[in-house]
Amino acid sequence: MARLNNKVAIITGGARGMGAATVRLFAAEGAKVVIADVLDADGEKLAAELAGKAIFVHHDVTSEESWSNVIAKTKAAFGDIDVLVNNAGVLLFKTIATTEKSDFERVITINLTGTFLGTKIIGEQMTARGKGSIVNISSADGMKGANGLGAYCASKWGIRGLTKVAAMEYGHKGVRVNSVHPGGIDTAMGNPYAEERAEVNKRYTMVPLQRVGEPNEVAQTSLFLASDDSSYLCGAEIAVDGGMLVGQYYVGFPGAPGV
């Protein structure tokens, strides 16, 4: 399998979770991958596992200088950049009333500003060459509201809008920009207490597929958008959410058929 043969990809937040699953899948599909993350130990371990196919670069997505460093190290190791997956992000569970300004700004800066900088700085590299694919990882919560996730929802809605604008500004220059909207995924962020899958699934009875998602299921969607198989997709938003956004599956309500 070589859907990304001869392509060079940068994946932010690539040291663990959905990012690590994407790194492994891209490498298996023929890409040379840069794991860009602040988690040095995890990133170095993954790069060693994929020796020859990936390198790790310490990267703060909120820093323009750090983005320049990633570009320099990517080009030195592998050459020009074909794919960027803006995956790095943080989650904050707090009501609006209990969210401090500093809390809100941290989430917005990492999730949204980090994606903006990647889209802008790597996008400039891609448009100069006239080709490339940028995949922005938003969230199902970038398409709906969720109590206790004010800062997170705001950042993910922002990524959704930014993607649309970038698609319009970059598409005619040969660079496709699309967004992926994961629902609940079994990662350190989505399952912070490392509960057994069966236990986690009990909280997903309202979702049509009635289970939590797996990191590789998101990675497969990013692979499609990164590859030439999605050559006519630009500005698309793909929900990888088990049907969460379809609506709530009612169980136990009077009159509900429960089928």
Catalytic annotation, residues: 152
Number of Cβ atoms within 10 Å of the Cβ of 62: 16
Residue 54, classified by CB atoms within 10 Å of its CB into exposed (0-12), middle (13-18) or buried (19+), is buried
Q: How far is CA 190 from the centre of its chain?
A: 13
> What are 147's two structure tokens?
């109590």
Note the maximum CA span of the chain: 64
d(CA 1, CA 127): 28
User: What 3-state class would DSSP assign to 103?
Assistant: helix
DSSP type of residue 213: B
For the chain, the distance separating the N- and C-terminal CA atoms, rounded to the nearest angstrom, is 39
d(CA 183, CA 190): 9
> What's the one-letter identity of residue 176?
R
Residue 126, classified by CB atoms within 10 Å of its CB into exposed (0-12), middle (13-18) or buried (19+), is buried
